[in-house]
Amino acid sequence: MPVYEYRCKQCGARFERRASVHEHEETKEPPCPQCGSGQTERVWSRVAVLAGGRQPSSTQGGGCGPACGPGCGNLA
Ligand SMILES: [Zn+2]
């Protein structure tokens, strides 16, 4: 089951939300759990954004970002 990350445009809080395969096709964002605002947007995870097959240790919040190039020594 995929987990999507969202960011609140009001208070900047980030939160995750599990989505089923069916919800995957929907575009509605969940409300912010902190301020209740509906002004949230999905934040694409680094794993999803990365192209090229490499998978950084995103679960550990490493320093490897989307702008990471071949010179990055953060390979697992
Ligand atoms: Zn908020």
pLDDT along the chain (76 residues), means of 10: 88 88 65 95 68 54 64 63
Same domain, 26 and 56: no
- CA 57 / ligand 1 centre spacing (Å): 27
What is residue 4's DSSP assignment?
A: E
Contact, 5 vs 45, CB < 8 A?
yes
Residues 16 and 35 in one domain: yes
Total domain count, the chain = 2
CA of residue 17 to ligand 1 center, whole Å? 14
Co-location of 10 and 37 in the same domain: yes
Angstrom distance (rounded) from CA 37 to CA 25: 22
CB 64 within 8 Å of CB 46: yes
Residues 30 and 10 in one domain: yes
pLDDT at 14: 95
| Segments forming the whole domain that contains residue 29 | 3-43
61-75 pLDDT per residue, tens: 555 666 676 667 665
Cα–Cα distance list, 20 to 2, 12, 23, 61 (Å): 7, 25, 5, 24
